[in-house]
Structure 1
Amino acid sequence: MNTPGTALRSRNPRTARTPAPAPAPAAAPAGRQADGMAVASFVLGLVGLLAMNLLLGPASIVLAALALRRGTTRPGRARLGLVLGVADLVVLACLVSADRTWSWSIG
């Protein structure tokens, strides 16, 4: 049973326990996602110069724009991915105008 003395004892600031502080989150997932998008944009733009530039060029551009908008810690890599994505489309346009077809081959 609770007696009036025990109720007062639990309110004593010296004996009252405070809850432990909540642990801070390990890392911001949005920042990590933006960094991953910047790296993916760079890799897709680089690979797109050699193969499948019709698909990889726009994908690289979109990922670079999203990474820059979300505030990546690697803005240089995102900008390079953006430039490589545009270069993919320029290379595709040059090859299409030379061959007059959407498919191209070396040789």
Structure 2
Amino acid sequence: MQLTAPAHDRAPRPTGVRDTDGMAVASFILGLVGLLVLNLFLGPIAIVLASIALIRGTSRRGRALLGLTLGIADLLVLLAFMQADSTVSWSF
């Protein structure tokens, strides 16, 4: 029993779609990691990657939206800790 079609029977996906899917996943991962470390850098990168993926029409729209949300959350966490410590960095 074969679950997937052989490689020669599958239609190739356009490179642009694969790139945008990768951007969506990368924005999700960077946004998630950014909640813990380097949120000043990873948050904006996650926001930009998610925005580009959504504009280009990714098939992983949910991941792109999560990446966008997590990128914004990174910056909000940074702002909250900056208000509490009066510094640009924070630690556990």
TM-score by shorter chain over 0.5: yes
- Report the equivalent of 2:36: 50
Q: Report runs of 4+ in structure 1 exceeding 2 Å deviation.
A: none
Q: Which has the higher contact order (CA 8 A, sep 6+)?
A: 2
Give the whole-Å Cα distance in 1 for the aligned partners of 2:24 and 2:73: 16
CA RMSD of superposed structures (Å): 0.9
Instruction: Mark the runs of 5 or more structure 1 residues left unpaired by the alignment.
Output: 1-24
How far, CA to CA, are the matches of 1:52 and 1:104 in structure 2? Answer: 10
Q: Which AA in structure 2 matches 1:27? A: R
Instruction: Give the share of equivalent positions with the same residue, in percent.
Output: 61
Q: How far off is 1:27 after superposition?
A: 2.2
Residue of structure 2 equivalent to 1:77: 63
Q: Distance in 1 between matches of 2:27 and 2:14?
A: 20
TM-score, structure 1 length as denominator?
0.75
Consecutive unaligned residues in structure 2, runs of 5 or more: 1-10
Q: How far, CA to CA, are the matches of 2:51 and 2:88 in structure 1?
A: 26
| C-alpha deviation, 1:26, in angstroms | 2.7
